[in-house]
Amino acid sequence: MISDDWIADARRTRLIRYYDKAVVAVVIVAATGASVAATLLLAS
């Protein structure tokens, strides 16, 4: 049972890591898009 719990925890941690990476990627894309939009608005 201990090994099963460890596997479940490892899977959960892995999912959390993937989720964190996805959130970071979305934030980076949003920030980049916002800066590009601001640059275009200021340029025009």
User: Greater confidence, 43 or 2?
Assistant: 43
- Give the domain extent around 12: 1-44
What is the reported pLDDT for 2?
Answer: 64
User: Greater confidence, 3 or 4?
Assistant: 4
Number of structural domains in the chain: 1
With residues binned 3-state (H G I as helix, E B as strand, rest as coil), the percentages for the chain, rounded to 5, are 95, 0, 5
pLDDT digits (tens, 9 = 90+) for 6-43: 888 888 899 989 999 999 999 999 999 999 999 999 99
Residue with tokens 């939009």: 37
Q: How confident is the model at residue 1 (pLDDT cuts 50, 70, 90)?
A: low
pTM: 0.59
